[in-house]
Amino acid sequence: MKKTLLLLVALMIIGFYFTGCSPKTKYDRRLKHELASGVRADSLFMGFYFGMPDKDFYTRCWELNKKGLIKQGGNNTTVEYEIRNELRYPCVMNFYPSFVKGKISEMPVRFVYSGWAPWNKELTSDKLQIDILNWYKKSFGDEFIEVEHPEKGKAFVDISGNRRISIFKEDELHVWAVFTDMLVKQEKPDSSKFGTNPIDNLKDLK
């Protein structure tokens, strides 16, 4: 009886740890479920989408550029769009996709409040991260889960079909939102612009 009870409790504990609501497990289950659903969620923003051929991407950028909506981004590596109304304060987002076989497979977007300065604590990245999260909930649904990364701190992840959106901080100023087509994730991108997405290192999650 005693051994049975101890075994039962031990199994419960193990069960809690490995199948409970830990963020990593929740993420894993969500990813598995969404990928198994067969649903495709390719739309990103501004008319960009997963699978968009690189030439179409450049054409679209050129169209938006002619309309004065986007321009050459910071550090000469990205496309820049100024967000004037959607967030609590004016913000700049810079983006440039990664392509696999000439098609968009990932879209990293880097945000910074445009008036950031050390003295303005309202414009730091932890505020901006929540601001972006709330904005994206309106656009992509209210099912973001919270995970914690040992280096990047709190992050938010949404997975809908093949589309994963991860939102995490880089430093005091910058926040990333990375859109990833998980169906092509295993393939090596032709060009990764912004390095490793910490959400890919979920094995490191606390």
CA distance 112 to 108: 14
> What are the φ and ψ backbone dihedral angles of 195, each rounded to 5 degrees?
80, -165
CB of 40 to other proteins, least distance (A): 26
Positive or negative, the CA dihedral 98, 104, 108, 109 is positive
Whose Cβ is closer to other proteins: residue 33's or residue 121's?
Answer: 121
Q: Which CB sits closer to other proteins, 41 or 111? A: 111
Closest CB to other proteins among residues 39, 69: 69
- Of 9 and 39, CB closest to other proteins: 9
Minimum separation from the CB atom of position 146 to other proteins (A)? 9
**Which residues lie below 8 Å from residue 74, measured CB to CB, with a gap of 6+?**
80, 92, 94
Write out the residues near other proteins by the rule CB under 8 A: 1-2, 5-6, 9, 12-13, 16-17, 20-23, 62, 71-77, 80, 90, 92, 112, 114-127, 148, 153-154, 169, 171-173, 190-196, 206
Q: Whole-number minimum distance, CB 190 to other proteins, in Å?
A: 6
- Nearer to other proteins (CB atom), residue 50 or residue 81: 81
Residue 203 beta carbon to other proteins: minimum distance, rounded to whole angstroms? 15
User: Is residue 104 within 8 Å of 52, Cβ to Cβ?
Assistant: yes
Q: Under 8 Å CB-to-CB from 147, ≥6 apart: which residues?
A: 23, 24, 27, 154, 155, 156, 157, 199, 202, 205
> Least distance to other proteins from the beta carbon of 103, Å?
14
List CB contacts of 80: < 8 A, sequence separation 6 or more.
70, 71, 72, 73, 74, 92, 93, 94
